[in-house]
Amino acid sequence: MKILAIEKDLPEVSESMFTDEILKEEAARAWQLHQSGVIRELYFRADRNAAVLILECTSVDEAKAVLSTLPLVKGELIEFDIIPLVAYPGFARLFQDQ
């Protein structure tokens, strides 16, 4: 199942809390998850500093568990909106008998 995960800002978190050390740990963990095939795509929004991930997981619960292993999530510096995706069904309309 494809999962879209969009980083959310937490109001009580300041930029100074994002140390070089924790950001390096975050990048290392994201790399591990990418290499294992769980993170399929990883982006930053063009309009603000927020990560957007495409995950391949068996369920939303698995996606939540995977994201909870990220150092920034563990450190309660970020969290994610998690959105399960399905394939667009509209193309079937093109092939329906008339």
Indicate if the alpha-carbon torsion angle 51, 45, 6, 39 is positive or negative.
negative
pLDDT for residue 9: 86
> What's the average pLDDT block by block, 10 residues per block, for the chain (98 residues)?
96 94 97 98 95 98 98 97 96 84
| Domain 2-95 in this protein, CATH class | alpha beta
Digit-coded pLDDT (tens) for 24-35 = 999 999 999 999
Q: Any idea where the domains of the chain sit in the sequence? A: 2-95
Q: Please measure the distance between the N-terminal and C-terminal CA atoms of the chain and give it in whole angstroms.
A: 32
CA 12 to CA 26: how far, in whole Å?
A: 20
pLDDT for residue 98: 62
CA 78 to CA 36: how far, in whole Å?
A: 22
